[in-house]
Amino acid sequence: MPNHSVHKAGDLPGDERLLVERWLGRTVSDDETISVNAYRPHPAPDFASRQVLRRKILTQAREIGSRVGEISDEEIEGLVNEALDDVRGHRR
């Protein structure tokens, strides 16, 4: 059995589409793609491995940040607030 399935919402039978919409808590558009994954949980990485991953993420973030150029604190705060609102589902 596969562990991954991808379908266009418009191609889903009515009962399957209704189930997806219930899971998401919203209706889906016909042109949206639905992706379902099944996997077994795994233990969290140990402390040393997490520190290695943390350093890699910080290195990547600094490299990406170095490409931004000059940006004001107000712009940064606005972007962070916009991202948080979007994640929480509240558009201003």
Per-residue pLDDT of the chain (92 residues; tens, 9 = 90+): 678 999 999 999 999 999 999 999 999 999 999 999 998 898 999 999 999 999 999 999 999 888 888 888 899 899 999 999 888 876 55
CA–CA separation, 60 and 52 (whole Å): 13
Q: 22 and 53: one domain? A: no
- Please indicate, yes or no, whether residues 27 and 51 belong to a single structural domain of this protein: no
The phi and psi torsions of 39 (rounded to 5 degrees) equal -155, 155
Q: What is the pLDDT of residue 68?
A: 80
Report the C-alpha gap between 14 and 9 in whole angstroms. 10
In this predicted structure, what is the pLDDT of residue 65? Answer: 85
Q: Tell me if 31 sits within 8 A of 12, measured CB to CB.
A: no
Would you say residue 80 lies in a domain? yes
Q: Is residue 20 part of a domain?
A: yes
Q: 31 is in which domain, residue-wise? A: 4-37
User: Residue 81 and residue 87: Cα distance in Å, rounded?
Assistant: 10
